[in-house]
Structure 1
Amino acid sequence: MVAETTIRDTTVHLVDDDRSLGVALGRLLRAEGYACELHGSAEAFLGAYDPSRPACALIDINLPGMDGFEVQSRLAALDARCPVIFITGAGSIPASVRAMKAGAVDFLSKPISAEALLAAIDDAQDRYRRDTTDAAGRQDLDRALGSLTPRERDVLDGVEKGLLNKQIAAELGIAEKTVKVHRGRVMKKLGVRTLADLFRKVWLMRE
Structure 2
Amino acid sequence: MLKCEGYDVISFADPKAFLAGDMPSRLGCVILDVRMPGMSGLELQEILTGRAYECPIIFLTAHGDIDMAVQTMRDGACDFQQKPIKPDTFLPAVSRAIEKDRARRGGATNLLDELKRFRSLSEREKEIAEKVAQGFTSQQIAEQLGISKRTVDHYRMAALTKIELRTPAELAGFFERIRVFLAAHESQTF
Give TM class, smaller chain.
0.5 to 0.7
Choose from 6, 25, 32 the match for 1:59.
32
The 2-side partners of 1:73 and 1:55 are apart by 19
Tell me, yes or no, if the aligned pair for 1:81 and 1:132 is still in contact at 8 Å: no
Larger RCO (alpha carbons 8 Å, 6+ apart): 2
**Match of residue 168 from structure 2:** none
User: With structure 1 as the length reference, what TM-score do the two structures score?
Assistant: 0.49
2:157 equivalent in structure 1? none
Residue 131 of structure 1, aligned match among 99, 104, 107 = 104
Query: What's the RMSD between the two structures over aligned residues?
Result: 1.8
* Corresponding residue of 1:82: 55
Number of the residue aligned with 2:85: 112
1:168-191, CA deviations, whole angstroms, 9 ceiling, x for partnerless residues?
Answer: xxxxxxxxxxxxxxxxxxxxxxxx
Q: Which amino acid is 1:56 matched to?
A: C
Aligned length: 108
Identity %: 36
Structure 2 SS opposite 1:30: coil
Structure 1 segments, 4+ long, off by >3 Å, are none
Separation of aligned partners in 1, 2:29 and 2:86: 18
**1:50 match:** 23
Contact 2:64 2:82 in 1 (8 A): yes
Larger radius of gyration: 1
What is the rounded CA distance, in whole Å, between the counterparts of 1:77 and 1:51 in structure 2?
14
Counterparts of 2:34 and 2:84 in 1: how far apart (Å)? 14
Decide which structure has greater strand share. 1
The Cα shift of 1:64 comes to 2.6
Within-5 A mapping of 1:168-183: none
Unmatched 5+ stretches in structure 1:
1-27, 137-207
Q: Name 2:134's counterpart in structure 1.
A: none
Partners in 2 of 1:131 and 1:78 — Cα distance?
A: 17
Partner of 1:161: none
TM-score in terms of structure 2 length: 0.53
Deviation at 1:101, TM superposition (A): 0.6
Question: Is the 1:75–1:82 Cα contact (8 Å) retained in structure 2?
Answer: no
- Which residue type is aligned with residue 42 of structure 2? F
